[in-house]
Chains A and B, each alone.
Chain A
Amino acid sequence: MDKSLEPIVKQLQEKFGATYEEFRGEAHCLVKPEQIIDVLAALRDGHQFELLSAQTAVDYYPQTSPRFHVIYQLTSLAHNLSVQVRVPVNGDQPKIPTATRLYQSANWREREIFDMFGIEFEGHPDPRRILMPDGSEGHPLRKDFPLGYEEPQFSFNFDEIDLRKPYAKE
């Protein structure tokens, strides 16, 4: 961990009870879902982490608590620092407060996380899908989402599968 990050991480641990983990020299702070807005506000306003450089999620299926981690990668251009805030969330239909009031760039990223993982962001100004077509079902980056949907046709089962294929009408 960068030396100048130590007081910041210490503050998060004391004020929010954050758990600290280090992975290949990168600082990861795990916080509770209901605290995430306060944590982001403290980092942005108190330590000049003015850039949300990435926001994403991970699915730890079949584990259910936590099933997902929502990840915020914050960068401070003023101090040349980077810190990762991870929020473990439980269950299949998780909800977490939106970060759009603090970081405008969170808008489309939260839409992407909703589209791909089905994590709902409460208070999001525009909670629609962003990548998949509007009517589509499921969230493709979940580990329990089925892989490819078409069976390979071989010579022995070609006709049988061909009957089931959804060919376009004229």
Chain B
Amino acid sequence: MGVEQKLGNMGVVTTTLENVVNWSRTGAMWPMLFGLACCAIEMMAAQAAHYDMSRFGMELMRASPRQSDLMIVAGRVSKKMGPVLRRLYDQMPEPKWVLAMGDCASCGGVFNNYAIYQGVDEVVPVDIYVAGCPPRPEALIHGVLTLHEKVKGDKFKDLAADIK
């Protein structure tokens, strides 16, 4: 069956280290829960049995930034929440990604006023924007899969340059 037949008795596969590392990173992302508003309800629905995000290797949300590598910002970020969010982002170990879930986290949504950041990209660098108000769980899962595609294309030299 499959890979065993093709390999015979050798038990060896040749590939690049980049491929292996990127594949393992996409298969086991640890999202940090950052539920700020109604988007968090859709995020919970995406994890629950009906949509089951664990099919993509991320069934468990961590409440600690030090145990996670993907920050899902679900909801509007107020001016007072911004420094808190940045501090949690800074505590996450590299490599790390940010997914702005919903219109408010992406661009401020309907809240064009003094209290709300016009997009979380004013506070932390964002990799993926998911549109919707709130996005359905399918949309969130699509965003996560798009992020997986992005991670699979990562080059070590770019990551090293980023960390410097």
Residues of A in contact with B (beta carbons under 8 Å apart): 132-133, 136, 138, 140, 145, 147-150, 152, 165-170
Contact = CB atoms under 8 A, between A and B. Distances in A.
B121 A167 contact: yes
Contacts of A169: 125
B21 to A, nearest CB: 21
A52 B125 CA distance: 47
B122 A147 contact: no
Contacts of A167: 121-122, 125
Interface stretch (B58-66, B106-114, B138-146): B106-114
Nearest to A137: B114
Interface string B115-143: 10011011111000000000000000000
Given A149-B118, A150-B108, A168 B79 contact: no
B122 A168 contact: yes
A122 B108 CA distance: 37
B114 A145 contact: yes
Contacts, number: 42
B80 interface: yes
A170 B112 contact: no
Say what secondary structure dominates the interface of chain A.
loop
A133 B79 contact: yes
Given A167-B121, A168-B122, A170-B125, A133 B114 contact: no
Given A132-B79, A133-B80, A147-B113, A166 B162 contact: no
A136 B115 CA distance: 10
Please indicate which of the listed interface residues B83, B114, B121 has the most CB atoms of chain A within 10 Å of its own CB: B114
B121 A136 contact: no
A134 B122 CA distance: 19
B108 to A, nearest CB: 6
Nearest to A139: B114
13 contacts: A133-B79, A133-B80, A138-B114, A145-B114, A149-B113, A149-B118, A150-B112, A165-B118, A166-B122, A167-B122, A167-B125, A168-B86, A168-B123
Contacts of B125: 167-170
Contacts of A140: 114-115
A133 B80 CA distance: 6
Given A133-B79, A150-B108, 18 more contacts: A132-B114, A132-B115, A133-B83, A136-B79, A138-B114, A140-B114, A145-B114, A147-B113, A148-B113, A149-B112, A149-B113, A150-B112, A150-B118, A152-B112, A165-B118, A168-B122, A168-B125, A169-B125
